[in-house]
Amino acid sequence: MAELMDTLNELLEQQTGQISTRIGADETKTRSALHAAVPALLAAFSQEAERGGGIRQAIERDHDGSIIDQLSGYLGGGANLSPRTTNGAGILDHVLGDRQSDMQQALSAKSGLDAGSIGSLLALLAPIVMGMIGKKSNASPGGGFSLDDLGSILGREKADAKSSNPDMSDILDRFGEGKGGASGGGGGLMDSIGDLFGKKDR
């Protein structure tokens, strides 16, 4: 069972109207895009976890689940959260690198939402997905999971998503494999733990 994906889909379904308003898009197309974007992001995070890209450290430091508790405020722009927690553009830059445009185009083709709105949606969603992972990992014993198992957990999420959404298999495989060159170059996320999944504190 794709627990993370199902939980996120249920949560975001309740916020579709607010999300569509935030990105300036049609609500029906936004709903379709949400159902495609969540598994696509989880697949990309799965690859990052498998390659030891530092996603665990980022979650431990900046994504404890507070964003889920303040979701309505976050979507409305009024949550009391660290800029590191809400830096969706930074998350996408590290995880997808120069493939962000490719994901936007792929999800646009699936959902009917224009690529520009998909880009805004992904930047809005990335901190939510990271926050849900953090919240689940911080759940009481028996109710969550250990970040030690993050790679295998996200791998199962990807496999379950492919099984339940066969038409998404091409996107999940494409963006769950490797990473294009992130802006700024370098050898990946672990090259600069101090700047991981966000900009350095100023």
In the chain, where the domains are located: 3-178
pLDDT at 53: 64
Determine the pLDDT at residue 192.
Answer: 36
Q: What is the pLDDT of residue 194?
A: 40
DSSP string, the chain: --HHHHHHHHHHHTTHHHHHHHHT--HHHHHHHHHHHHHHHHHHHHHHHHTT-SHHHHHHHH-SSHHHHTHHHHHHT-----TTTT-HHHHHHHHHGGGHHHHHHHHHHHH---HHHHHHHHHHHHHHHHHHHHHHHTSPTTSS--GGGHHHHHHHHHHHHHHH-GGGHHHHHHHTS---PPTT-SS-GGGGGGGTTSPPP-
d(CA 162, CA 131): 23
Total-model pTM: 0.84
Please list the ranges in the chain whose pLDDT falls under 50. 1, 140, 179-194, 196-202
Output the pLDDT for position 51.
77
The contacts of residue 9 (CB under 8 Å, 6+ apart) are 34, 35, 38
pLDDT for the residue 186:
36
So what's the pLDDT on residue 36?
Answer: 96
Q: CA-based angle 135:137:139, to the nearest 5?
A: 70
